[in-house]
Amino acid sequence: MEIATFIGKLSKAPISGEAKIWIDPSKTDFQESLARWTDVDKKVPGAIVFPATENDIATIVKLALEASVPFVAKAGGHSSWSTVGPHGFILDLSLMRSVTVDSESQTATASAGALIGDVVKAADEKGYAAVTGTVDSVGFIPSTIGGGITLLAPLVGFGSDNIVSARMVTAKGDLITISEDENRELLYAIKGAGQFFGIVTSLTVKIHPLSILGTPGGTVWSATLIFDVSKGAAVAKAAIQVKQNTTRSYCLAGVLPAPPNLDPIIMAVIVHLGSKADAEEAFKPLLDLEPMVIPARDEVPFGKVNKAFQAFESKGGLKKWLAVGLTSTEQFQPEDMTLLIEQRAKVAEKFPSAKMTGSVIEFTSSGPWDKVTAEKETAWSHRDIATWCHLLCWSFDEEGLDYAHEVAQETKEHIRQRQEEEEFSIYSNFSRTAPIGERFKGQERLEKLRDLKLRWDPDGVFTNEFL
Ligand SMILES: Cc1cc2nc3c(=O)[nH]c(=O)nc-3n(C[C@H](O)[C@H](O)[C@H](O)COP(=O)(O)OP(=O)(O)OC[C@H]3O[C@@H](n4cnc5c(N)ncnc54)[C@H](O)[C@@H]3O)c2cc1C
């Protein structure tokens, strides 16, 4: 069915009064709502539809399926996938950002379009830590049901490990509950591969008393350290040492462009899930390297810790992000940081338009949680990752992006040199094109996901992943 005819039908459908339908791309607010973290593959849809309730989502999906009109859900807009051309529509979930916290059951329930920042704030206000990623404007549900890398992992596992239940609109447009008691097989799928099974209209997750941080008032210690590029290998060596010798630390360190000239610096954002005194001891190897500048170094309330990562969230520009997983700390050596610096220099020299390109390594210490085996069988297959290498390609023109991406692929091959092929890992939340076996590891897991996909979404309404 033509999109205009479909929108005509939808306008007469029983959806709530708060829902909205926009059809005019010449309007400023229409264009503003298309803003994404990356402009790669950005298209202009035939319409943007804003549901306000879970029943709205079910009604809209059912009508779209009957009319064979393509659609894609958008929550935080931090992927390149929430886009569709003029024959389809974007299901923009931004009217559904509520979060409720239940102190008795120690859970939080987030609506379809809630952002990470919404959930962190709601939990923090009641004295809890929510298990989320580090960038407040990323969609909470997509990031959690895709695995949920988090700096809290050493204490309480990954975001997807903390999922208790969900409400979901299926590929038939039915609204179902997923929990230990209902549609249990989908609980496995939404703990790591949830974006490919339906639209999660709300997600209930465990939250944790701030007392797990072991500090009065639930603070963590956080700092941003800037070093000259000549210290790249030394910073990597110190970060590896911190990772190996501590159980509550997080360090994101790498080569990034610094304003105003976008010349390279080494930046380390460090967080200790504990007291200032313990933090300064834990991070001593890095602090001893005498950073050039320390723009931030303080105890911060857990609810504000994501502010340290704001630099990564700006929307627009042509960006690609490759998250390459290494399965043991030994697979990343200090001299690899020197290679990352050289690779970035190569890109910036050939294409100054791509000077924003950089890479960061995520050194998260292992913690007591890693030793718990009971909950480990889910769609999330990256529990074995010791270190994530994030290769960020960022350009203002296509040529620059293509070259930065080519160099990133080269870098990926290099950093995998100490790894067996069966260990190759790409974080599924950043890629839908890497080989499926690198995103969802293990033959048994893949077969199970294929089987679930055939049962719940055989026609690929929510992508053809696993079909
Ligand atoms: C700067 C940055 C920082 C990041 N940090 C982290 C991090 O710390 N930890 C981590 O794990 N990941 C992280 N990610 C990856 C991020 O989790 C994924 O890219 C995620 O898909 C983005 O979700 P979004 O809602 O912002 O994007 P969108 O583009 O809005 O959505 C992505 C896709 O998710 C699906 N989707 C959207 N809403 C729903 C829904 N309610 N139910 C089911 N499917 C839905 C759709 O297919 C959509 O195309 C980061 C990404 C970026 C760019």
Q: What is the mean pLDDT of each run of 10 residues along the chain (467 residues)?
A: 92 94 96 95 96 98 96 97 96 98 98 98 97 97 97 91 97 97 96 98 97 91 97 97 92 95 96 93 95 93 93 92 95 96 98 97 80 70 92 97 98 96 95 96 95 98 97
The Cα-based distances of 426 to 195, 219, 257, 334, 438 in angstroms read 16, 32, 24, 21, 5
- Give the residues surrounding ligand 1 with Cβ less than 6 Å away: 37, 72-79, 81-82, 93, 112, 133-135, 138-139, 141-143, 146-149, 194-195, 199-200, 312-313, 321, 429-430
Residue 376's pLDDT is what? 65
Ligand 1 pocket test, pick from 33, 49, 56, 82 with the greatest ligand atom count within 8 Å of Cβ, gives 82
Residue 373's pLDDT is what? 52
Burial 8-21 (b: 16+ CB within 10 A, else e): eebeeeebeeebee
Q: Which atom of ligand 1 is nearest to the CA of 139?
A: 25
Residue 296's pLDDT is what? 86
Domains of the chain: 3-92 (3.30.465.10), 99-212 (3.30.465.10), 219-439 (3.40.462.20)
Q: What distance in angstroms lies between residue 143's CA and the mean position of ligand 1's atoms?
A: 5
Residue 340's pLDDT is what? 97
Check: CB of residue 153 under 8 Å from CB of residue 230. no
Q: What distance in angstroms lies between residue 119's CA and the mean position of ligand 1's atoms?
A: 14
CA 48, 98, 457, 434 torsion-angle sign: positive
Residue 374's pLDDT is what? 45
Check: CB of residue 245 under 8 Å from CB of residue 363. no
Residue 377's pLDDT is what? 85
Nearest-CA residue for ligand 1 atom 43 is 199
The Cα-based distances of 416 to 73, 240, 242, 244, 419 in angstroms read 34, 17, 22, 20, 5
Of 257, 398, 201, the closest CA to residue 319 belongs to 398
Nearest-CA residue for ligand 1 atom 51 is 78
Q: Is the pTM of this model over 0.85?
A: yes
Please count the other Cβ atoms lying within 10 Å of the Cβ belonging to residue 259.
Answer: 6
- Rounded CA-CA distance 45/71 in Å is 9
Q: Which atom of ligand 1 is nearest to the CA of 197?
A: 43
- Rounded CA-CA distance 467/450 in Å is 6
Residue 369's pLDDT is what? 64
Residue 371's pLDDT is what? 58
